[in-house]
Structure 1
Amino acid sequence: MLIADEFFLIAHNDSRGKAKLHPSATGLGLAGALLGELVLFGQITVANGLVTVIDRRPPADALAHTVLDQLVGESQHQAVRTWLSFLAQSATGSVGERLARAGVLRRQENRRLLRTTVSYVPIDLNAVAWPATRLRALLERADPPSVPDGTLLGLVAAAGLTREVLWSAGPRAHHRLGALIQSLPAPLKELVAHTEAAVGAAVLRGAP
């Protein structure tokens, strides 16, 4: 499962598919995860506040392919914060649809008066709860987690989801989380920092 998928499940670990975060924080965290997937695929890098495409070959995943096409097509825009804000607008729906196609969630439309909202309901509650459980177990172990898992943990912390992962963990896990974020490769560490700053700014201005 890709990191944006796991982030989505941690952020919506609820039998009704209800988000644990403010919509803007959820969207920005998922936007960071979608960019993180492309960094991990070796197709973009992040440095000095800018996103740079280094490999235009389409990735196997359809959503990652779409995001890469957007980066290539709008190459005049390179600021990480610009792309986080842009991708955040559609990230929840895009990743939710990817998980629905994978059979993890079920798309559900709710009509009220003149408005239709879409939610993504778990098909198997254990599958939805697994990413948070898995990350908690990783932090309790002595072995360092993989770079993708470290990136996911960094984005979880950046978006304000730490409690969902560490609610029953001991002091060792809390300490390791901070150390892991600091030890990420430079592009991913910077991406996590920009995501955290974007989430903080959105919360301060009360973004919808």
Structure 2
Amino acid sequence: MASAPADDLYLAAHDGIGGRALLPRQVLGVALGAALLGELMFWGRVGLAGDALAVIDDRPTADQAASTVLGMLRQPSSSLGPREWIGHLSTVIAPALVEQRLTAAGVLRQETKRRLFSSEVSLVFTDPRSPGEPATRIRTHLSYNQPLDAADLMVAGLFLATGLDEMVLDTINPRDRARLQEQFRRNLPHPLHQLVAHALGLLR
């Protein structure tokens, strides 16, 4: 895992030069919600129990975003299934958590634009090349027929679910796209496959 999947997804969904989002905020929120839940599965904190999410290890993590989501999942009143949790996180929670994490890591920074009677604060990328790195890594692995790890497979699956692949994987040829579909089908663990499917279901 090169970096946290939700971070990679956020990066890939933005233009590095102007910081413009390539996806509507609601669509990006769904993908980020699924990716944050996927991170907890990678770290063995959450699993699927039938149609429900089950907390396996409720100890706080060293990551603030993951710990926040884990704290929500372990509340006694929490009885939502994966799709409902993705929808709940997608509103403002998931984008805000990922932006906070990227800002703390120095990937994003605040920029203030002053106007005549007001000022506007926005987030910009410290390195305008960083948004292109996740998709470039995935394209390179596919072109050399190298296996993607589970994190990159989940991110690529969320590219497909959101339509982001049409913008960031548009240069891969039919052979490489077939390789991606085959790896996704064969190598992505079932719980992560389900998260991608739930995200797709919310976006239809």
Q: TM-score, normalised by structure 2?
A: 0.88
Secondary structure at the counterpart of residue 73 of structure 1? coil
**Using a 3 Å threshold, how does the CA distance of structure 1 residues 117 and 23 change in structure 2: closer, same or farther?**
farther
**Residue of structure 2 aligned with 1:195, choices 187, 199, 202:** 199
Instruction: Tell me whether 77-86 or 40-49 shows the greater mean CA deviation.
Output: 40-49
Please tell me whether the aligned partners of residues 45 and 55 of structure 2 are also in contact (alpha carbons under 8 angstroms): yes
Instruction: Tell me whether 71-80 or 167-176 shows the greater mean CA deviation.
Output: 71-80
Task: Compute the displacement of 1:15 (Å).
Answer: 1.8
Q: Does 1:133 align with 2:136?
A: yes
Task: Compute the displacement of 1:132 (Å).
Answer: 1.4
Task: Compute the displacement of 1:137 (Å).
Answer: 0.8
Task: Compute the displacement of 1:58 (Å).
Answer: 1.7
**Using a 3 Å threshold, how does the CA distance of structure 1 residues 108 and 8 change in structure 2: closer, same or farther?**
same
**Using a 3 Å threshold, how does the CA distance of structure 1 residues 111 and 35 change in structure 2: closer, same or farther?**
farther
Instruction: Provide the rounded CA distance (Å) in 1 between the counterparts of 2:90 and 2:111.
Output: 21
Instruction: Provide the rounded CA distance (Å) in 1 between the counterparts of 2:119 and 2:53.
Output: 35
**Using a 3 Å threshold, how does the CA distance of structure 1 residues 20 and 125 change in structure 2: closer, same or farther?**
same
**Using a 3 Å threshold, how does the CA distance of structure 1 residues 123 and 198 change in structure 2: closer, same or farther?**
same
Instruction: Provide the rounded CA distance (Å) in 1 between the counterparts of 2:163 and 2:96.
Output: 20
Task: Compute the displacement of 1:98 (Å).
Answer: 0.9
Instruction: Provide the rounded CA distance (Å) in 1 between the counterparts of 2:158 and 2:4.
Output: 13
**Using a 3 Å threshold, how does the CA distance of structure 1 residues 181 and 134 change in structure 2: closer, same or farther?**
same
**Using a 3 Å threshold, how does the CA distance of structure 1 residues 28 and 178 change in structure 2: closer, same or farther?**
same
For 2:190, the aligned partner's letter is: A
**Using a 3 Å threshold, how does the CA distance of structure 1 residues 97 and 71 change in structure 2: closer, same or farther?**
same
**Aligned residue number for residue 91 of structure 1:** 94
Q: Which runs of 5+ in 1 are unaligned?
A: 201-208
Please tell me whether the aligned partners of residues 29 and 159 of structure 1 are also in contact (alpha carbons under 8 angstroms): yes
**Aligned residue number for residue 69 of structure 2:** 67
Task: Compute the displacement of 1:186 (Å).
Answer: 0.9
Aligned-residue Cα RMSD (Å) equals 2.3
**Aligned residue number for residue 52 of structure 2:** 50
**Using a 3 Å threshold, how does the CA distance of structure 1 residues 80 and 57 change in structure 2: closer, same or farther?**
same
Please tell me whether the aligned partners of residues 13 and 131 of structure 2 are also in contact (alpha carbons under 8 angstroms): no
For 2:193, the aligned partner's letter is: K
Instruction: Provide the rounded CA distance (Å) in 1 between the counterparts of 2:41 and 2:184.
Output: 16
Instruction: Tell me whether 63-72 or 170-179 shows the greater mean CA deviation.
Output: 170-179
Instruction: Encode CA deviations 1:68-118: one digit per residue, 9 max, x unaligned.
Output: 001001553231121111111221122112111111111346799xx9976
Secondary structure at the counterpart of residue 51 of structure 1? strand
Percent of aligned positions that are identical: 38
Instruction: Provide the rounded CA distance (Å) in 1 between the counterparts of 2:96 and 2:119.
Output: 14
Task: Compute the displacement of 1:169 (Å).
Answer: 1.1
**Using a 3 Å threshold, how does the CA distance of structure 1 residues 154 and 74 change in structure 2: closer, same or farther?**
farther
Task: Compute the displacement of 1:16 (Å).
Answer: 2.2
